Amino acid sequence: MHLFDFVRTIFEKVGVLYFASTCLLTTMAILFLPIEILDQIMLSEVKNEWGKFIGLVFILSIAYLTIAIVGYVHRYINKIWYGHKFKAIIIDKLHNLNSDELRIIGTFYDMRSEQLRDIADLDYCDGTVKNLINKGVIIGMAVTVPASYSDDYRRLSAFIPCMLSKTAKEYLSVENGTLLIKK
């Protein structure tokens, strides 16, 4: 087994981030521990013979971990920033729903409990349902849909379970049997 195959196997099994962290910790131990401690664990010769290689691994480990941390922070900030932006877009689209879209949203209303249901079966072939899914107001919960012919055999229909998005559910309420959109 060549060195390259060995390193590739380690990356596949352990992960690059953990491997870089381990390299950083071991090279820090060898480079910065006092010589007395290195003599006790018999690593003073290793430091003398392999010092340049250990220093290079140390620098590369710091560079990789810095890039990984900066990438993580960048993704986290983007998630927060675009999450708020996406929420504002959904709220704006909720206030601009037409009567057909409000009728579809009304299917989530449960008359017995006078509350909004979590799930409703909606006809995916209906253009209004597709518009609401594209706007982010409702979420289709099925990827593949079994199709069936409707009663009048004029069009194909596919009912999928749908749910209100989290933002839509926050801003919709029911009072006295009327669906209201909060401002």
Q: Give this prediction's pTM.
A: 0.52
Tell me, what's the pLDDT at 74? 92
Residue 65 confidence (pLDDT) above 50: yes
Sign of CA dihedral 170, 174, 175, 179: positive
**Sequence ranges of the domains in the chain:** 3-94, 97-181
Work out the average pLDDT over 136-155: 61
Q: Mean pLDDT check: name the lowest of 76-85, 121-130, 174-183.
A: 174-183
Say what the pLDDT of residue 153 is.
Answer: 46
Collect all residues with Cβ–Cβ distance below 8 Å to 108 and sequence separation of at least 6: 116, 117, 120, 164
14-39 mean pLDDT? 82
